[in-house]
Amino acid sequence: SNIKKMETTVGRHRRVIMFPLPYQGHVNPMFQLANLLYSKGFSITIFHTNFNKPKTSNYPHFTFRFILDNDPHDERYANLPLQGMGAFSRIFLFNKCGADQLRHQLELELSAKDEPPVSCLITDASWHFTQSVADSLNLPRLVLRTSSLFCFLIYASIPLLDDLGYFNLSDNTATPLLDGLGYNNVPDDERLEEQVAEFPVLKVKDVIKIGFKKDNDGMGDIISNMVKQTKASSGVIWNSFKELEQLQLETIRRDIPAPCFLIPFAKHFTTASSSLLDQDRSFFPWLDQQPRNSVVYISFGSVAQVEEKHFMEMVHGLVDSKQSFLWVVRPGFVSGSTWLEPVPDGFPGERGRIVKWAPQQEVLGHEAIGAFWTHSGWNSTVESVCEGVPMICSPFWGDQPLDARYVSDAWKVGVYLENGWKREEITNAIRRVMADEEMRERSRALKQKLDASMIEGGSSYESVESLVDYISSF
Ligand code: UDX
């Protein structure tokens, strides 16, 4: 009905071309932004790979162009993995060889007579190759950065943190023991607990858990190019809000000359229409029966995987907590299993429900949900903040360990399970978060700040208005 309402606001004179990174955690915020810009009167064209193709029937109001991987026989990508970490190899490949195709498609759009003129290109920050293509066509490129501002600042400091020797320290909760350099002759495990001088909220071990460093395996290159081409862009859009990351915003404004727009997307649109998997809704009658704040919602996003022995620690930790739960176990989440083979007979029983994929935002907004056990992906984190739900954080890699630290130590709206998968610790963390009324109150207060930023005169409201004005000025 939202879309129906929007379709009546015809007379679209300007067009925006949007180009998401084709993974669930990146596609969701880009389509939320696309819906938002459409609601503000822009015509929307989406560039997308065939890989992880969105359900275009959910977007009859957008125009789609499929680019980069149209030839099913091209050996460079025809046989790349569709699932797991291997699926990310497309980020490297298309950043290297996508420029000509992108330029060709953009030239077609720019010269199209029967469509509104193109105001700008908005791409995911990790499509760093798009900046020089846009420059060559004199087309402004805006960046959508789908993680936090603090993550960007920390990623931008990876070379510095690497020079400090942090990545040579060993952290046996994250990775197999590395060959420590005996930095300062202090045993590694003591240094791991130290604050990072440049980012006092962080501990050294959080930095190690990012999992990639300066020029190690190609990921370091992607990150440094992402940072460089984001700084070179005409503007940056963040899935966040000013009151959450005020200091980081001030720092970033010194680093990036172009304007920044902080928009908490989950407050505008849900991600239901850009979901790549079908969302199970069959548990709602059960959830509706549960008392207020009594159910733990558990989900680890679209990519994370665990070993079976760790999965079993999770199962036992949950059972021992005696709390009710709704658990999203994505097929393939447990490595070596197609879905739920390892769970014991009788699990989950009456106390729990397990589904393959859920309408996450709607679940987080349900009054029966009392806590979110999450991998601390940034979308999940923002969605939880939007609904005022306290978190139990079990991050895997990348921005997740950083998000977990900010959630637990800076905003104090969650508990960080930082020693891996141990059933007693899981049980304790779940019980603590469910019973901690002060944490629940802080989560509620943070949500209220966010809600206040959404009304006229508030920071998030103004961000949307100034983004619309800015794009209209091109
Ligand atoms: C990835 C990275 O892991 C994350 O750290 C980064 O910030 C963005 O890209 P992902 O791991 O999938 O994303 O996590 P997250 O950012 O939390 O995104 C998951 C999305 O899937 C959320 O929008 C969530 O609402 C949605 N989801 C999740 C569902 O719709 N249903 C589910 O059952 C689970």
Read off the pLDDT of each residue in 308-329 and give the average, rounded to a whole number.
Answer: 97
Cα dihedral 466, 152, 194, 406 sign: positive
C-alpha of 439 from chain center: 23
Residues 6+ apart with CB under 8 A from 152: 145, 227, 230, 252
Residues 6+ apart with CB under 8 A from 32: 265, 266, 268, 269, 271, 274
Do residues 363 and 326 lie in contact, with contact meaning Cβ atoms separated by under 8 Å? Answer: yes
The whole-number pLDDT of residue 86 equals: 86
Read off the pLDDT of each residue in 226-241 and give the average, rounded to a whole number.
Answer: 98
9 band by pLDDT with thresholds 50, 70 and 90: very low
Say how far apart CA 391 and CA 408 lie, in whole Å.
8
- Assembly ipTM: 0.98
The whole-number pLDDT of residue 317 equals: 97
Q: Give me the active site residues, please.
A: 26, 124
Read out DSSP for 134-200?
Answer: HHHTT--EEEEE-S-HHHHHHHHTHHHHHHTTGGGS--TTTSSPP----GGG--HHHHHTSEETTEE
Question: Which residue has a Cα nearest atom 18 of ligand 1?
Answer: 25
Alpha-carbon separation of residue 232 from 135, 140, 142, 257, 259 (angstroms): 10, 11, 10, 8, 11
Query: Helix 219-231 crosses helix 89-97 at what angle (to 10 degrees)?
Result: 50
CA 336 to centroid of ligand 1, rounded, Å: 22
Helix (H) or strand (E) holding 426: helix 423-435
Residues 6+ apart with CB under 8 A from 462: none
Say how far apart CA 43 and CA 376 lie, in whole Å.
33
182-208 pLDDT, tens digit per residue, is 333 445 677 889 999 889 999 999 999
Could you identify the residue written with the tokens 């998000």? 403
Question: Which residue has a Cα nearest atom 28 of ligand 1?
Answer: 301
Do residues 365 and 337 lie in contact, with contact meaning Cβ atoms separated by under 8 Å? Answer: no
Write phi, then psi, for 385 (nearest 5 degrees): -60, -40
43-97 pLDDT, tens digit per residue, is 999 999 999 999 999 999 999 999 999 999 999 999 998 888 889 999 999 999 9
Is beta strand 414-416 parallel, antiparallel or unpaired with respect to 391-393?
parallel
Q: Which atom of ligand 1 is nearest to the CA of 381?
A: 17
The whole model's pTM is what?
0.94
| Higher per-residue pLDDT: 6 or 176 | 6
10 band by pLDDT with thresholds 50, 70 and 90: low
Residues 6+ apart with CB under 8 A from 367: 292, 293
Probe target for ligand 1 pocket from 149, 327, 355, 380, with the most ligand atoms within 8 Å of CB: 380
CA 302 to centroid of ligand 1, rounded, Å: 5
| Residues within 6 Å of ligand 1 by CB | 24-26, 28, 146-147, 271, 275, 299, 301-303, 328, 357-358, 360-361, 377-380, 383, 398-400
Do residues 46 and 18 lie in contact, with contact meaning Cβ atoms separated by under 8 Å? Answer: yes
State the greatest distance between any 2 C-alpha atoms of the chain, in Å, as a whole number: 69
Question: Which residue has a Cα nearest atom 21 of ligand 1?
Answer: 301
CA 181 to centroid of ligand 1, rounded, Å: 36
Read out DSSP for 248-300?
Answer: HHHHHHHH--S-EEE--GGGT--SGGG-SSPPP-TTHHHHHTSPTT-EEEEE-
Q: Which atom of ligand 1 is nearest to the CA of 302?
A: 12
Query: Above 60 in pLDDT, residue 209?
Result: yes
Question: Which residue has a Cα nearest atom 9 of ligand 1?
Answer: 25
CA 301 to centroid of ligand 1, rounded, Å: 4
Question: Ramachandran region of residue 188, left (φ > 0), alpha (ψ -120 to 50) or beta?
Answer: alpha
160-191 CB burial, b ≥16 within 10 A, e <16: ebbebebbbbbbeebeeeeeeeeeeeeebeeb
Q: Which atom of ligand 1 is nearest to the CA of 28?
A: 23
Residues 6+ apart with CB under 8 A from 466: 259, 261
Of the chain, the percentage scoring pLDDT greater than 70 comes to 93
- The angle formed by the CA atoms of residues 21, 27 and 31, to the nearest 5 degrees, is 125
The whole-number pLDDT of residue 216 equals: 57
Beta bridge partners of 199: 196
Q: Which atom of ligand 1 is nearest to the CA of 24?
A: 12
Read off the pLDDT of each residue in 145-150 and give the average, rounded to a whole number.
Answer: 98
CA 374 to centroid of ligand 1, rounded, Å: 10
Q: How many Cβ atoms are within 10 Å of 213's Cβ, its own excluded?
A: 19
Beta bridge partners of 295: 324, 369
Say how far apart CA 7 and CA 179 lie, in whole Å.
60
310 band by pLDDT with thresholds 50, 70 and 90: very high
Q: Which atom of ligand 1 is nearest to the CA of 151?
A: 7
The whole-number pLDDT of residue 219 equals: 86
The whole-number pLDDT of residue 217 equals: 58
Structure tokens at 392: 């139990």
Say how far apart CA 348 and CA 326 lie, in whole Å.
10
Probe target for ligand 1 pocket from 23, 88, 127, 302, with the most ligand atoms within 8 Å of CB: 302
Structure tokens at 411: 């905003």
Do residues 393 and 417 lie in contact, with contact meaning Cβ atoms separated by under 8 Å? Answer: yes
391-449 pLDDT, tens digit per residue, is 999 999 999 999 999 999 999 999 999 999 999 999 999 999 999 999 999 999 999 99
Write phi, then psi, for 113 (nearest 5 degrees): -85, -30
